[in-house]
Amino acid sequence: MFVKKKRAVFFDRDGVILKAVVEDGTPRPPYSIAEYREKSGRMPSAREAVEEVRRLGFLAILASNQPDIRYGKISKEEWQWIQDQIKDIPFDDIFICFHGREDICECKKPKPGMLLEAAKKWNIALPESFLVGDTADDVIAAARAGSRSILFRAEYNASVGADYKISELSKLPGTIS
């Protein structure tokens, strides 16, 4: 029997679902609970955007590089506490690369590994899918997977090109439909 492939929207975490901490013009995740509270937090409309994407018939999948436990910049416990702050957002699946640069894994963006793995697991049509991210690595990962990229605009990514650009998550449903 022919099973119709699903479409998906992949979400980067920091700079999309959570506000990135910007240091010297470069975005990064919060390195502690205190920093999450002071400089990061949830992006406005994060939950609503994921709910709306699912209502439109897409799978909503988090695909995030999180090497900072590996690099010793954050404890496992504080990292988990921060990750738990998005627990109520109804992602269909969550893929996280915990590797560092030296690990030469297949999942760390700009490699497309997390998208390819999700596509296999969920029977996703990658050419009809999107990745929302805030860095060039996100755009490249989307391109390598054969998906379309949506850049979440920020001061630090003004020079990054992408298939689409949005300045707030409430614009996402209109971009993908």
Please state the length of the chain: 177
Site string for Zn ion, 99-118 (x = CB under 5 A): x-----x-xx----------
Q: How far is the CB of 174 from Mg ion (least distance, A)?
A: 22
Q: Which of 90, 26, 25, 35 is nearest to 59 (CA)?
A: 90
How far separated are the first and last CA of the chain, in Å rounded? 28
Please tell me whether residue 165 binds Zn ion under the rule CB under 5 A: no
| Known catalytic residue at 103 | no
Choice from 14, 52, 68, 78 touching Mg ion (CB under 5 A): 14
Beta bridge partners of 11: 62, 132
Report the largest interatomic distance among the alpha carbons of the chain, rounded to a whole angstrom: 54
| Known catalytic residue at 14 | yes
d(CA 113, CA 67): 15
Cis peptide before 110 (omega within 30 of 0): yes
What six digits make up the tokens of 8?
Answer: 């998906």
Instruction: Give the footprint of Mg ion on residues 105-164 (CB under 5 A).
Output: 134
Q: How far is the CB of 133 from Mg ion (least distance, A)?
A: 6
Instruction: Give the footprint of Zn ion on residues 52-91 (CB under 5 A).
Output: none
Please tell me whether residue 12 binds Mg ion under the rule CB under 5 A: yes
Please tell me whether residue 30 binds Mg ion under the rule CB under 5 A: no
Please tell me whether residue 15 binds Mg ion under the rule CB under 5 A: yes
Q: Which residues are catalytic?
A: 12, 14
Q: Which residues bind Zn ion (CB under 5 A)?
A: 97, 99, 105, 107-108
